[in-house]
Amino acid sequence: MTAALDSVKASLREKIRVRVKTIPAAERAADSTLLCARLREQPVWSAARFVLLFAPLPDEPDLWPLLNEAIAAGKTVALPAFVPGTNGYLARQIIDPARDLVAGRFGIREPLPTCPAVSLNRLDLVLVPGIAFDVRGGRLGRGRGFYDRLLADVRGPKCGVAFEEQIVEAVPVGPLDIRLNCILTPTRWIET
């Protein structure tokens, strides 16, 4: 990646982080509830049998309520799990969230190493966090490339999950950045 692209991405990251911090906590919670409801309406969610969710950070939309719902509905639900030595993540199945989760490398909830791995090419829906998104499927992550490496092997739909404040005109992308198939916000389902 070029220094110019790195600089543009860093600038956009900072701008969006500031914007998201201004969203009051009550509005974030309400928007997260709307995001869950909008996702439940989507045929891709209903049809999905193997789903990769994410454990939200405080500044990210919270789809956590869908975890137990999806498990109860018979879906195979996985979360990213850091793999020491590879500097990457794989998907591990969650069966019992109360038993199967620990704080991972970055303090994010992730499955125990004893949870079964789920092949990335079996996933038929991946919900993806990020800093910024555009309506063409561009995604700006946190800058380490973890999700892009994970998404490279996913065949199913990849859906960005965002507050409206995270949607921008254009996300700068490089050759290793993976485009998303759709974007979910509290008010929209965007096919890219």
Express each pLDDT in 99-129 by its tens digit.
999 998 788 999 999 999 999 999 999 999 9
* Cα distance between residue 159 and residue 191, in whole Å: 9
pTM for the model stands at 0.94
Q: Where are the domains of the chain?
A: 3-191
- What digits encode the pLDDT tens for the residues 61-108? 999 999 999 999 999 999 999 998 888 899 999 999 999 999 987 889
Name the β-bridge partners of 22: none
First to last CA, the chain: 24
Name the 3-class secondary structure at 21.
helix
Instruction: Classify domain 3-191 by CATH number.
Output: 3.40.50.10420
Burial 1-23 (b: 16+ CB within 10 A, else e): eeeeeeeebeebbeebeeebeeb
Name the 3-class secondary structure at 77.
strand
Total Cβ atoms within 10 A of residue 113 = 12
